[in-house]
Structure 1
Amino acid sequence: MTLRNQVLIWIAFFVVLVLLLWLFRGILLPFVVGAALAYLLNPLVNQLQRWKFGRGLATAVVLLSVITIIFSLFFMLVPLIGQQIIGLIQRLPGYVTALQALITKWSPEINAWLGPERAAQLQTSITGITTQALGFIATLPAELVNIGLTGAGVIGFTLLTPVVAFYLLLEWEGMVRGLQELIPPQYRNEVNGILGDIDKSMAGVLRGQGGVLLIDAAFYATALSILGLNFGLAVGLIGGLLSFIPFVGFAVGFALSVGIAIVQFWPNYWMVVAVCAIFMGWQFIEGNILYPKLVGSSININPVWLMFALLAFGALFGFVGLLLAVPLAAIGGVLVRYGLGKYKASSLYIGQNGGQGGSGI
């Protein structure tokens, strides 16, 4: 198969995939989450099979154990978390007003430090960010309805997701064998190499980055609560769980925490410094220890392209697009690297005579 035909096939496959996702975006959420859950749990099911469990029994044991843990945590933590999030949403306009009052009070010092023009720009920027944040909060109920997080949607999601995960886990080996049989024998080794790279990237996305996300959320929530920050549990969880979007989780959590700390603790600026230290110190630990250990170089995507993928897929598919953006970006990165490797090994790049003379066309 020529390079041109291979590139056309992969482009056509990607276009068809995006089109199908767009057509069925309204019903995809339980299937996407169920598939991700099956992918995450498949190694555990395989381990039980090695311990002489049947595939069906191993699937049932693993899935029931995970569901039991999730529901236990849900009933233990959700009332407290929900109360804090609702309280934060209700109190946020008051915090913003108090912060603006403090900025107005400090305006002479700010003017002397930055100059009148820059001080006015700073105040305008803060006002704009505040207006956008309050506007987002005002439209949040409508957005939740749009992504199906209503009573009926949650019930359907809760019932359908475990069923999807169960049947995918049960038939995982059969599906893999079926896909292997569809690959022409002469290209099987090459395609298997691509699929192996995709599996490595997906493992980095779902297992590695998912682990970092949960550790971030647990640390921020615990540290801010111990520090005594109002709504520290909610703010920490929001900042940690948003960290799947590069820089956004840190920025949102840091801005909320510092804003609340200034209103709550001022003039005790050491508490504000402590909040800043929590975020800055953890960012150092995450970037130098957690991320290299749990994710490593398996994703290998430039953060700029990752943010573009999140914005693009979010605009096209809404909340489901945000869930799919990073895995699809990881798959796209593998295919692009494969295409570039084939191109650099082709006569189009090195020339007809291997780069020794000739026009190279």
Structure 2
Amino acid sequence: MPIFRRETRVWFFLAVSLSTVLAVYFLSPMLAPFIFGALLAYLGDPLVDQLERLKLSRSAAVSLVFLAIFVVIGLLVLLLVPMLHNQLDALTQRAPEYGEWLDDTATQIASYFGVDADAINFKDVAKTYLPEAGSATKGLLEAVFKSGSALLSGVVFVTLTPVITFYLMRDWDLLVARLYELIPHALKAKVKELATESDSMVSAFLRGQFLVMTGLGTIYAFGLSIIGLQFSLLVGLVAGIMSFIPYLGTAVGVILAGVLFVAQYQDWVALWKVALVFGIGQLIEGYLLTPWLVGDRIGLHPVAVIFAVLAGGHLFGFVGVLLALPVSAVLAVLIRHAVGHYKESELFNDGNEQSVNPDA
């Protein structure tokens, strides 16, 4: 007699899914290094497989890819963090000056249209809030080092992530094979089809979109530095990170760069330079980066991406943000197949048959 009857299988899989969600919810404070390590191992596994095909051993291939990943991450941290810190300091120091210029400009525009602009004083706002925001940003690292629990969590994350990444990358193919063995035989073919399609979706997000974000951030930062924007790296980083949502990164970058550029040079006409930088960035993205690195494999609506990130962060914190896009990509595949089955079902087609044959 089989352990799982047909009518209990659905409840079994629902129970497993619910248990997994609850485990992630309650264990999320300690899962960050495991999730981040798993994502890095997933990104590195194809490179390891390629090196294996070149007759390298699995251990040697994993060691090379592992070293490359963390050398790149280390260099980015060492190069970008001090530069971003300096730009934040400079922005904090110049905030009152920018606020005074915005206040004078708003007053002139309001007087031109006959509107009283005394209700808004950008100079006071800048003097009050922007330095506080800058000091809060600088104080974040100090708070981390002063807080014992936060320091411990940071040390655990930095220490465990490389270890977890190495061992998961080394045993990735073995773990996948063992998970596949646990799938019921009747479902193996379908699960393999869904897994292959999901892998294509997730890899498009994690590999392709990450490279697009990095490329756009670099283009924007380099272009804005050429036209003389003092905070080019900061604006480029923000625009690049937000570019995973189509057009949002460009919109935010144009507004932020435009305001800072005009405040720095007090020249409205020269805004065409900012528009040129972001226009070139969009052309490179549309005709080179996205078709080459991402293609048409994503298929997630921008609103779905926003919802996934916000929902993941709200429910599971930082772990939820890390999981949001991969999980939403897999769910998109499952929903697409479920909709296909629904359209082929009697529930969907019964009314259509009646409408075709009303006398039946």
For Structure 1 versus Structure 2, the TM-score category normalised by the shorter chain is 0.7 to 0.9
Q: In 1, distance between residues paired with 2:156 and 2:356?
A: 66
CA RMSD of aligned residues (A): 3.8
Match of 2:201 in 1: 201
Structure 2 residue 22 is matched with structure 1 residue 19: yes
Going from structure 1 to structure 2, the CA distance change for 1:56 and 1:20 (only over 3 Å counts) comes to: same
**Structure 1 residue matching 2:297: 3-state secondary structure:** coil
SS at 1:24 equivalent: helix
What is the letter of the counterpart of residue 306 of structure 1?
A: V
Paired letter, 2:71:
T
Q: Where does residue 266 of structure 1 map in the other structure? A: 266
CA distance change for structure 1 residues 60 and 37 in 2, over 3 Å: closer, same or farther? same
For 1:42, what is the secondary structure of its paired residue?
A: helix
TM-score scaled by length of structure 1 = 0.82
Q: Which residue of 2 aligns with 1:29?
A: 32
Task: Summarize deviations over 1:262-310 as a string: whole Å, max 9, x none.
Answer: 111123x343221122123323432444223322222211111211112
User: What does the per-residue CA deviation read over 1:288-344, in whole Å, with 9 as the maximum and x for residues that have no partner?
Assistant: 442233222222111112111122222222333222222221111111111111111
Amino acid at match of 2:34: F
**What corresponds to 2:350 in structure 1?**
351
Cα offset, 1:249, TM superposition: 2.9
How do 1:1-361 and structure 2 match up within 5 A? 14-92=17-95, 94-109=97-112, 111=113, 116=115, 140=137, 151-267=151-267, 269-351=268-350
Find the residue that maps to 1:216 and give its secondary structure: helix
Task: Measure, in 2, the Cα distance between the counterparts of 1:341 and 1:6.
Answer: 21
Contact 1:238 1:249 in 2 (8 A): yes
**Counterparts in 2 of 1:66 and 1:353: CA distance versus 1, 3 Å:** closer
Letter in 2 for 1:266: Q
Given the superposition, is the C-alpha separation of residues 318 and 142 from structure 1 closer, same or farther in structure 2, using an over 3 Å criterion? farther
Distance verdict in 2 for CA 1:344–1:236, change over 3 Å: same
Given the superposition, is the C-alpha separation of residues 261 and 29 from structure 1 closer, same or farther in structure 2, using an over 3 Å criterion?
Answer: same
Q: Percent identity?
A: 35
Letter of the 1:99 counterpart: L
Between 88-97 and 313-322, the greater mean CA deviation after superposition:
88-97
Deviations 1:103-160 (A, max 9, x none): 2222233x27xxx59x999x799x99999988866765787769x9955444332221
SS in 2 for 1:106: helix
Is the contact between residue 95 and residue 127 of structure 2 (CA under 8 Å) also seen in structure 1? no
C-alpha distance 256-357 of structure 1, shift in aligned 2 (>3 A):
closer
Partner amino acid, structure 2, of 1:259: V
Contact 2:242/2:248 (<8 A) preserved: yes
Alpha-carbon separation, structure 2, partners of 1:22 and 1:141:
31
Residues 307 and 65 (structure 1), Cα distance of their counterparts in 2 relative to 1, 3 Å cut: closer
Runs of at least 5 residues in structure 1 that lack an aligned partner in the other structure: none
Q: TM-score, normalised by structure 2?
A: 0.82
Matching residue's letter, 1:189: A
Unaligned runs of 5+ in 2: none
Judged with a 3 Å threshold, the aligned counterparts in structure 2 of structure 1 residues 135 and 243 are, in CA distance, closer, same or farther, namely farther
Shift of 1:85: 3.0
* 1:38 shift after superposition: 0.6
Q: Distance in 2 between matches of 1:216 and 1:2?
A: 53
Change (3 A) 1:314 1:157: same
In structure 1, what residue type is equivalent to 2:203?
A
Residue 354 of structure 1 and its aligned partner are, at CA, apart by: 7.5
The 1:13–1:194 alpha-carbon spacing in structure 2 relative to 1, beyond 3 Å, is farther
Aligned length: 351
Aligned residue for 1:244, secondary structure, equals coil
CA distance in 2, matches of 1:220, 1:92: 22
8 A contact 1:265–1:272 mirrored in 2 = no
